[in-house]
Amino acid sequence: MKNERGIVLIIVMWAMLVLMVLAAELSVSSRIEGRTTNVYQQDTATYYLATAGIHRVMYRVLRAQQQGRNFLNMGIGGQFGQARGGGLGQAQGGQNTQGGEEEDVWLRADGRWKKEEFGAGGYWVRVIDEAGKINLNQVDEATLRQTFVNLGFDQETGELLTDTIQDWRDTDPLVRLHGAESDYYQSLPIPYPAKDGPFDSLDELLLIRGVTPALFYGREGTALQKIFTVYNGGGGSVNLLTANALVLRAVLGVDADAARNLVQRRAESTGANIGGLFPGGGVGRNMNFGIPQVVMIESVGYLKDTTLTRRVSAVVQRIGVNGFRFLRWQDRVENGDPVPTDGQ
């Protein structure tokens, strides 16, 4: 009888131990699921805040477009001159339009960030004119080669990139001196053929011989993704109104300090006097001063009580004066430039 009681006690103790382990496991699992749910909720919230930023920009740019406002008729301080229907710096009823500075930033499409609070958080947004970059499908060999020279690439790397880009986009199977065709790409651990056609996406550069992620994203210096585009916003020429410092170095042949100085002076100038900032007035075969038609809108949503953010982007094309056409949408953007701090 005593032995039976001892066995029962041992069984009860083991059962209690098993139940305690299961309870602890359930508690840990519940906490993990709760945290996962919270992170998912925050990620969803920041995603829609970022999306709201993109639609906010599109609305503001569309309104300015309908009213005939653009950077070229902008005066000092972001104010606009007179046009049909009265002062363009005024809304209906004679009230000043809110946020002249925000329109200044977004209409310029030169990549400067603008922050707005919205609901429980807000968003950082910037607009980048695709015509302010070098068109990868339309740039000729001489200009492409000079681009890498102006940016300070060593001769071997510049020749390699020039030839591999041309071999990728041309339609023939002939291999240039420093280039690569399907024979090379098919020999890689994960084989694929050469495109032998125009670039459909800038990300295709990552498939080309000589282009590493570090070079593409700029982790170790010049970022190719900031220099080139595949969208035909400028008819093959670079818009000096919106080009970033890297592109200005590439097309004008100036050094890094001079390019940064040009960007700063351009940001403080108006459409009326901006041509005088550039060497020779910016007149050149591959340069122009134009209104952005194809732009990338990048938006970073954030919540005030968390450090989690979500970055989305869209490439849109203006259609007439009443609409846009989406050319690309990215739900999640990695390797993006950091947004300014609140102190900047």
Domains: count for the chain: 2
Domain final position from 288, 304, 338: 288
CATH assignment of the domain containing 255: 1.10.40.60
Tokens of 20: 């305690």
Residue 303 has pLDDT above 80, yes or no: yes
DSSP string, 230-280: -S-SSTTSEETTT--HHHHHHHH---HHHHHHHHHHHHT--TTTGGGGSGG
Dist. CA 160–CA 248, nearest whole Å: 22
Dist. CA 301–CA 290, nearest whole Å: 30
Dist. CA 286–CA 17, nearest whole Å: 78
Of 78, 83, 87, give the one whose Cα is nearest residue 107: 78
Q: What is the pLDDT of residues 3-40, one digit of tens each?
A: 666 677 778 788 888 888 888 888 777 778 777 778 88
Statement to judge: residues 138 and 212 lie in one domain: yes
What is the β-pairing status of strands 228-229 and 134-135?
A: parallel
Of 105, 153, 142, 140, give the one whose Cα is nearest residue 125: 105
- Model pLDDT, residue 331: 92
Higher per-residue confidence, 213 vs 14:
213
Dist. CA 195–CA 167, nearest whole Å: 9
Residue 76: pLDDT band with limits 50, 70, 90: very low
Statement to judge: residues 185 and 296 lie in one domain: no
Statement to judge: residues 161 and 228 lie in one domain: yes
pLDDT above 90: percentage of residues in the chain: 50
Highest mean pLDDT (candidates 30-34, 84-88, 203-207, 218-222): 203-207
Q: What is the pLDDT of residues 220-268, one digit of tens each?
A: 788 999 999 999 765 668 988 899 999 999 999 999 999 999 998 888 8
- Model pLDDT, residue 233: 64
Query: Within a domain: residue 335?
Result: no
- Model pLDDT, residue 244: 94
**Three-state DSSP class for residue 84:** coil
Residue 95: pLDDT band with limits 50, 70, 90: very low
Q: What is the pLDDT of residues 144-177, one digit of tens each?
A: 999 999 999 999 999 999 999 999 999 999 999 9
Query: Within a domain: residue 7?
Result: no
Query: Within a domain: residue 208?
Result: yes
Q: Picking from 58-62, 84-88, 104-108, 205-209, which range would have the lowest pLDDT averaged per residue?
A: 84-88
What is the β-pairing status of strands 309-319 and 323-330?
A: antiparallel
Phi-psi region of 122 (alpha: psi -120 to 50; beta: other; left: phi over 0): left
Statement to judge: residues 237 and 184 lie in one domain: yes
Task: Give the number of other Cβ atoms within 10 Å of residue 144's Cβ.
Answer: 19
Residue 96: pLDDT band with limits 50, 70, 90: very low
Query: E strands within 35-171?
Result: 82-83, 86-87, 114-118, 121-129, 134-135
- Model pLDDT, residue 329: 95
Statement to judge: residues 156 and 297 lie in one domain: no
- Model pLDDT, residue 88: 28
Give, to the nearest 10 degrees, the angle between helix 245-252 and helix 256-267. Answer: 120
- Model pLDDT, residue 3: 63
**Three-state DSSP class for residue 271:** coil
Longest dimension (CA), the chain: 109
Mean pLDDT of all residues belonging to the chain: 83
Query: Within a domain: residue 341?
Result: no
CATH assignment of the domain containing 113: 3.30.1300
Question: Is there a contact between 259 and 249 (Cβ–Cβ < 8 Å)?
Answer: yes
Q: What is the pLDDT of residues 317-335, one digit of tens each?
A: 988 878 889 999 999 998 8
Residue 289 has pLDDT above 90, yes or no: no
Of 127, 82, 145, 136, give the one whose Cα is nearest residue 295: 127
- Model pLDDT, residue 321: 76
Query: Within a domain: residue 3?
Result: no
Domain span at 153: 134-288
